[in-house]
Structure 1
Amino acid sequence: MANPFEAVWNSLKIAVDNSDEPKAPLHIVEAGDCWKYVTLMEEFIRYEEIGLNTTTDDEVKEILTDIVRLCESQVEKLSAFIKKEGIPLPDVTSAKPESRPDSIPLGVKLTDDEIMNGLAFKLVTCMLQCAKGQADAVRNDVGLMWFGFYTEWTNFGTTMKTLMRKRGWLKVPPYYYPPGIPDK
């Protein structure tokens, strides 16, 4: 069984021991993961802007505002890294203008339930992409960057799940009862 403390120690040793050696360039999969994640984050921000234009719920607005900050922070970090590595930035959708929630037709307007479940889906997508990026990373600095992003999503997800449970918005698959389980 792998020891998590040993894994952290080995990562720190690699980071310190290799500080004098030049870093290898990113391999094609690392570069692609970075490029794809910036695109994913930018599109996620557009969805959050739509949510902010749609909702009137203060708690949902707070979640959306926090997640916009998180996405923008990750985009800023990763964009700086990508530029430093010589990778061209992706062409992304421009920001949505602000609008009033009461001016959106009901057939188009997202409900708070739909906004929050869309955020949950996007959050899971981001976490999966971070895990893939970390698994693909050969360079230690790249792996640590992905781990940091993943940790931020995990922390944010617990807050979001609490609100979704409180409001009854959390989508739960049907429960599984194996054959022969005693009745409770």
Structure 2
Amino acid sequence: MGILSGNPKEEPMHFGEINSVWQFSMAAKGSVSCYQAYLNHAGDKDLKKILDDLIDQAKLEIKECDTLLTDNGIPPAPALPERPSVKLEEIPPGARFTDPEIAAKLAADTSIGLVACSQAMGQAIREDIGALFAKYHLTKAALGTRILELNKEKGWLVPPPLQLKRSESE
């Protein structure tokens, strides 16, 4: 039997796995805080539904990552305080994030999350950790598709320059 060939949950985590899980948990905690604030600013009901789903996913990631860390004797990052609810009308217009701004930030965050999941999967030698991040990757891909569809449907998508016609020299 080779090294680390037993039950993955009984194998030690290597430093890369520890760092990935810890950072992912910390990022999820930041996302919950930020997305709760965005909920106060959002006016579109479809955008609010995606924000709720992103918050629920981030809370699941926090729970699972923090449990993994704790089970391996590593203290997780501290939790951030819950944000209070505020009525949209109470936020001055100049201080308010607009729905297109929020949706663009959600798209960027989801894209960054996909890269983080891929990196964690690639460096994992414990199958359970690789599988955990594969699960998160799949969920983020599905949420990213919903965000893209929302941005297109609402007219909020700002595409990069599009190549509509090839030059004659090619």
TM-score (norm 2): 0.89
Q: How many residues align?
A: 165
1:145 has 2:135 as partner = no
Aligned with 2:46 (options 59, 62, 83):
59
Does residue 1:94 correspond to 2:76, yes or no?
A: no
Match of 1:118 among 98, 102, 105: 105
In the TM superposition, structure 1's runs of 4+ consecutive aligned residues that sit over 2 Å from their partners are 21-24, 176-182
Q: Which amino acid aligns with 1:142?
A: I
Whether the aligned pair in 1 keeps the contact of 2:11 and 2:126 (CA below 8 Å) is yes
Q: Is 1:175 equivalent to 2:130 in the alignment?
A: no
Q: What's the CA shift for 1:133?
A: 0.6
Q: What do you get for the CA RMSD once the two structures are aligned? A: 1.9
Distance in 1 between residues matched to 2:144 and 2:166, nearest whole Å: 30
Q: 1:30 to 1:178 in 2, by over 3 A?
A: farther
Provide the residue aligned with 1:9 in structure 2.
none
1:80 is displaced (CA, Å) by: 1.2
What is the CA distance between 1:181 and its match in structure 2? 6.8
Deviation string 1:101-141 (CA, Å, 9 cap, x unpaired) is 10111111000000111111111111111111111111111
User: Which amino acid letter does the alignment assign opposite residue 133 of structure 2?
Assistant: W
Q: Are residues 1:84 and 2:74 paired?
A: no
Query: Which ranges in structure 2 are unaligned for 5 or more consecutive residues?
Result: none
Structure 1 segment 8-87 matched on structure 2, within 5 A: 18-19=6-7, 23-87=10-74
Q: How many percent identity over aligned positions? A: 22
SS of 1:107's equivalent in the other structure is: helix
Q: Kindly indicate whether the alpha-carbon contact (under 8 Å) linking 2:9 and 2:128 is maintained by their aligned counterparts in 1.
A: no
- Which amino acid is the alignment partner of residue 36 of structure 1? Q
Query: Normalization by structure 1: what TM-score?
Result: 0.83
Judging changes above 3 Å, is the alpha-carbon distance between structure 1 residues 171 and 181 closer, same or farther for their aligned structure 2 residues?
farther
Measure the CA separation in 2 of the matches of 1:94 and 1:171.
33
Structure 1 residues 75 and 160: CA distance shift in structure 2, 3 A = same
**Secondary structure of the corresponding residue to residue 38 of structure 2:** helix
Match of 1:130?
117
Shift of 1:166: 0.3
SS of structure 2 residue aligned to 1:169: coil
* One-letter code aligned to 2:157: L
